[in-house]
Amino acid sequence: MQWRSLLLGLLLLRLGLQVLLGLLPALAPGLCLRRRFPFPFPPPPAALGPPGAAAGPGSSHWGSLLRRGGGGGAGGDEYERRYSGAFPPQLRARLRDAARGMFVFGYDSYMQHAFPRDELDPLHCSGRGPDRQDPSNLNINDVLGNYSLTLIDALDTLAVMGNSSEFQKAVKLVIDTVSFDKDSTVQVFEATIRVLGSLLSAHIIITDTKQPFGDMTIKDYDNELLHMARDLAVRLLPAFENTKTGIPYPRVNLKKGVPPDGNNETCTAGAGSLLVEFGILSRLLGDSTFEWVARRAVKALWSLRSNNTGLLGNVVNIQTGHWVGKQSGLGAGSDSFYEYLLKSYILFGEKEDLEMFNDAYRNIQNHLRRGREACNEGEGDPPLYVNVNMFTGQLMNTWIDSLQAFFPGLQVLIGDVEDAICLHAFYYAIWKRYGALPERYNWQLQAPDVPFYPLRPELVESTYLLYQATKNPFYLHVGMDILQSLEKYTKAKCGYATLHHVVEKTKEDRMESFFLSETCKYLYLLFDEENPLHKSGNKYMFTTEGHIVSVDERFRNSLWQDILPGEVDSAEKIKPNELKAVNFSSNCNRVPDERRYLLPLKSNYMRQIDQMVGLI
């Protein structure tokens, strides 16, 4: 690869200079072996806006807080000066409030200009629903079902931010105004993670006897959200019928079932990432149906992996089991399949799920991972996960997509923190270059292949989880950069808008619901150290849509071991106090105090990554 050629050249140059110094010691004081690269940020403690951008609102004041708080050392190189040292609590509080303000502006704009429609158009201050004129417009119709999507998706964010009055008002609005008896054809995956997951999360919050986020109870609440979740799930069940493999159809009409012209091809993530929400619903209701169909789909996909590599492709025919898309990667089409193998184990304690995940993770390391063996030592390219052919393990292309930025967060959950640090740094370097993540980035050309950014949360999610695991202030700086970029480049008249082009910074008139359910939530939690989610003693897990669910005994008990094939005996299941997922604050103090304020990745490796993405 070009990286290796570049590194070899630099090594030869360094060796030559060292020989020259040995021959000419008298000249050594006049030589500088370390090239001073032009740094892509204004060095602290100056304004801290996104790279190449003027300081955003309030940036200079945040910079003054860094000066007073002692953040950033006077010595060391540029990276150490920018990122090392303590992060002032006053600055952190201001960033927490800024993240809350971002959510409030987006949420209030939706409620004022778009509700009860599904999404907000932030440029024209209006709402949008399904595209009835063009059923083939899947970018819209897969997601929007004419059921106030953004309101539903944002419910638990209101609770996490402690806004009990608005949470209660929003829940009542959902109960009183939302119906799933609609002639809408939606993607099963999107309806599950955005709508079903949020209804279940809000129900769990309402019925929690401890009420850690404040009083989120609803007067005369009679499990309405749980009943709505069941109603929606029942309407999704036809997708699992009349399929020879058990893998569901990708889309279903909420009134009529699978369309007569239903597509027989689906992606691995879409079909295999339903188990968390369907499993929670089954265990709350005591009805095995939903978990059974979701688990059957996972096992069907798992049985189709390559005998040679153990990898799965990204698109499969649900009738024949033939792989239509043979690309194996960690981004779109595959991402949450791996995520939910692990999270299903964390939540339900089924060791079978962990065994599948461990096998999958081992195959990913063997066939997708490129670069040096260790993140923070040794020579060679930094670790990167590429797209390969599922049968041969051979490289298929030279791009990665923004969804793959979730993977460092998943690595944190299994304790592979060092590797997570390197991969996160690569995506952060791309963010620094553009002030956003392009949907698809070509690492060989050092340029976006698909240049839009729809306000995705994956980099923020991984940043939050890495901070929880390391408590390293570096990740607070990353969060500050992301927050400022969003304010500078995506803020619109009525909310926040998709970037049509990350280089030109042109906008599209769309604010996807995950901006409120995930992006704003993870930013807020990153800066809110005292949030009940961190301090209450409860254990929580985030779904792939960022909805919080409590990890407790009731989800580890099921009454249908005899019905679900291949399940282990309940005595062999993991117990709540055996869980060691590191997004729980009690398990996150893994970094010794003496390393707490050092860079998580050595500055020479950070510089190497910045070179790789064209920053320097």
The binding site for Ca(2+) consists of 544
Cα(404)–Cα(383) distance, integer angstroms: 14
Cα(87)–Cα(156) distance, integer angstroms: 28
Q: Compute the C-alpha angle 548/431/103, nearest 5°.
A: 40
Is residue 487 among the annotated active site residues? no
Is residue 352 among the annotated active site residues? no
Contacts of 405 (CB under 8 A, 6+ apart): 424, 427, 437, 456, 458, 459, 461, 462
CB 434 within 8 A of CB 553: no
Beta strands in 291-372 (DSSP E): 315-317, 323-325, 327-328, 369-370
List for the chain the helix, strand, coil content (%; round to 5).
Answer: 50, 10, 40
Contacts of 40 (CB under 8 A, 6+ apart): 51, 52, 432, 433, 610, 615, 616
- The 8-class DSSP code of residue 82 comes to H
Pick the catalytic residue: 121, 224, 381, 458? 458
CB 278 within 8 A of CB 293: yes
Pick the catalytic residue: 335, 350, 419, 545? 335
Cα(288)–Cα(20) distance, integer angstroms: 74
Beta strands in 490-593 (DSSP E): 491-492, 495-496, 498-501, 506-508, 540-542, 548-550
Is residue 458 among the annotated active site residues? yes
- The 8-class DSSP code of residue 567 comes to P
Nearest-10 crossing angle of helices 520-527, 89-113: 160
CB 573 within 8 A of CB 556: yes
As given in the structure block, the two tokens for residue 345 are 């184990």
What are φ and ψ of residue 540, in 5° steps? -125, 155
Binding positions are 544
As given in the structure block, the two tokens for residue 312 are 């799965």
Pick the catalytic residue: 190, 224, 381, 567? 190
Cα(391)–Cα(402) distance, integer angstroms: 24
Cβ atoms within 10 Å, residue 210: 10
Number of residues assigned to the chain: 616
Cα(15)–Cα(11) distance, integer angstroms: 6
Is residue 373 among the annotated active site residues? no
Query: Which residues participate in catalysis according to the annotation?
Result: 190, 335, 439, 458
